[in-house]
Amino acid sequence: MENVFENNRTAWNEALGYHQKARGDSLQSGFENPDFTTFDRDCDQMQLHKIEAFGLRDKTIGQLPCNNGRELLSLMRYLGARAAYGFDISDTAIDEAKQFAEISGLSAIFERINILEISDKYNEMFDFIYISEGSLQWFPDLSAYFAVVSRLLKTGGHILIYEIHPFAYFFETGYTLGEPDIEKIPSYFDREPHSYPHGLDYVGGTEYEASECFWYMHKMSDIINAVLKSGFDLLEFEEYNIEMANTEAAKATDKLPLSYIISGKKR
C-alpha cells in the first residue's frame, strides 16, 4: 500500500508543474488582493452558505487533502476562522500553499503528509473539516480515511464534502458519449485501482506520459456508510447535476448526478 501512496505523491508533484505552467502567476497575484477568493463559481455560493451556517468565526478549520491551499486560504478569510490547517501528500502542492499563505498574510499552516498518517497531536483540534472535489478517490479504504477525519474533529465538529459524484467517474477512463462503449466505464462495484496514463492536468488540459498513479471508484453507499460508521450524524445528502471534473460528463448534466454534498456532525 505504501507503494500506492508514494506513486501518487510522485504523480501529483509532476502534475503540479503542469498546473503551475497553466495558471502562470494568477494565484500569486490574486492572493495579494485581500478580497481574493478561489470560490468564484456560481455553485460555490451554495456550499459557502452551508459552511457559514456552522458558525466558524474564530474557530479552527482544516482541509484533507488541501492541494495548494487555495481553497483553505479562501475559506479561512471568508469565514473569519482563527486557525486553518491543510494537509497534502504532494511536496510541490504544499510548497505552493505556504507561498500563498505568505503572500496573503493569512496564518494557515500546511503540512506535507499522507492523510492516513496525520499525527495524533491534531486529535480533536478541529471545529470543521472541508473535503472537496477529487479528494476521496485517492484512498483505497474509506473507513481508514474517515477514521482520521473523525479523530481530528472535536465532538460536535462538522464536515462538508462537496465532491465529484461516482457516476461522473464513469467518464474518467475513456468512455465518451459520442462513441459509447460500456467496456470503457470503470465498474461501479470494482475495488481495483485505476490510473491516469495521460496525466492529471485538469487545469491546463495538457496530456503527458504520466508517472503511474492509483485511484479508486467508491460507490455512493460506501461513502455514506463510511461517514456514518466513523461516528457522524448525517445532516444533509444532496446530489447535483453540477459538473466539476472537466470531462465529457459535462454533456450529461440533464441525465446524471455529477456532484454531491454530504454534511455531518461528529457525535
Least distance to ligand SAM from the beta carbon of 99, Å? Answer: 15
Which of these, 152, 155, 168, lies nearest to 220 by C-alpha position? 168
H helices of 201-246, in order, are: 220-229
DSSP 8-state symbol, 166? G
Answer for the pair 86, 104: CB distance below 8 angstroms, yes or no. Answer: no
Amino acid at 264: G
H helices of 203-258, in order, are: 220-229
Pick the binder of ligand SAM from 101, 115, 159, 226 (CB under 6 A): 115
Binding segment for ligand SAM among 39-47, 82-90, 102-110, 182-190 (CB under 6 A)?
82-90
Q: Residue 88 or 127: which CB sits closer to ligand SAM?
A: 88
Q: Residue 88 or 243: which CB sits closer to ligand SAM?
A: 88
Contact call for residue 243 and ligand SAM (CB under 6 A):
no
Binding mask 8-47 for ligand SAM (x = CB under 6 A): x---x-----------------------------------
Binding segment for ligand SAM among 44-52, 76-84, 103-111, 128-136 (CB under 6 A)?
128-136
Pick the binder of ligand SAM from 74, 135, 230, 263 (CB under 6 A): 135
Pick the binder of ligand SAM from 134, 193, 231, 257 (CB under 6 A): 134
Pick the binder of ligand SAM from 61, 79, 93, 153 (CB under 6 A): 93
User: With 0-12 CB in 10 A as exposed, 13-18 as middle and 19+ as buried, what is 40?
Assistant: exposed
Q: Give CA–CA dist 166/198, Å, rounded.
A: 21
Q: If you write DSSP's letter for every residue of 97-160 in order, what string do you get?
A: HHHHHHHHT---EEEE--GGG--GGGTT-EEEEEEETT-GGG-S-HHHHHHHHHHHEEEEEEEE
Least distance to ligand SAM from the beta carbon of 134, Å? Answer: 3
Binding segment for ligand SAM among 24-32, 47-55, 84-92, 100-108 (CB under 6 A)?
84-92
138-197: contacts with ligand SAM (CB under 6 A): 138
Q: Residue 95 or 239: which CB sits closer to ligand SAM?
A: 95
Pick the binder of ligand SAM from 114, 247, 259, 263 (CB under 6 A): 114
Q: Give CA–CA dist 7/168, Å, rounded.
A: 24
Is cis: bond before 65, omega within 30 of 0?
yes
Q: Give CA–CA dist 175/212, Å, rounded.
A: 20
Give the interface with ligand SAM as residue ranges (CB under 6 A). Answer: 5, 8, 12, 65, 67, 71, 88-90, 93, 114-115, 132-135, 138
